[in-house]
């Protein structure tokens, strides 16, 4: 066909809530307003989840409102819908003292 297709069909997520994980550990949620073949994403009403200063790999309950943003496709690691997803405890974390 010659034309590159994205593996992800983001059309079904337009105007719906998505969670985006970016390289460097940043995590944002917002309403997907647009995208292109390079996976550049336009999110409206975006909220960033701030990281724990002691452990940069963990996010905290603190958030920061960003509004309308563009996420560069080169930084996007994961895109998932916010509807129908629930956070569960990690079954692989060892209890302290084990």
Comparing 3 with 21, which gets the higher pLDDT? Answer: 21
Q: Give the domain CATH number at 23.
A: 2.30.30.100
pTM of the model: 0.76
Lowest average pLDDT, out of 7-11, 24-28, 75-79, goes to 7-11
**pLDDT given for residue 15 in this prediction:** 96
79 token code pair: 């895109």
Tens digits of residue pLDDT in 50-75: 988 888 777 788 999 999 999 999 99
Long-range contacts of 64-69 (CB under 8 A, 24+ apart): 66/28, 66/30, 68/33, 68/42, 68/43, 68/44, 69/28, 69/30, 69/42, 69/43
The domain of 15 spans: 11-81
Distance CA 58, CA 65 (A): 19
Residue 25, in any domain of the structure: yes
- The total domain count for the chain is 1
């Amino acid at each position: 066909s010659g034309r590159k297709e994205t593996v992800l069909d983001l059309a079904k997520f337009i105007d719906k809530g998505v969670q985006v994980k970016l390289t460097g550990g940043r995590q944002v949620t917002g309403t997907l307003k647009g995208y292109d073949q390079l996976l550049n994403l336009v999110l409206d009403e975006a909220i960033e989840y701030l990281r724990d200063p002691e452990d940069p790999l963990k996010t905290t309950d603190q958030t920061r409102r960003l509004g309308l943003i563009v996420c560069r496709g080169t930084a996007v690691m994961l895109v998932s819908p916010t509807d129908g997803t629930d956070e569960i405890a990690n079954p692989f974390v060892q209890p302290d003292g084990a």
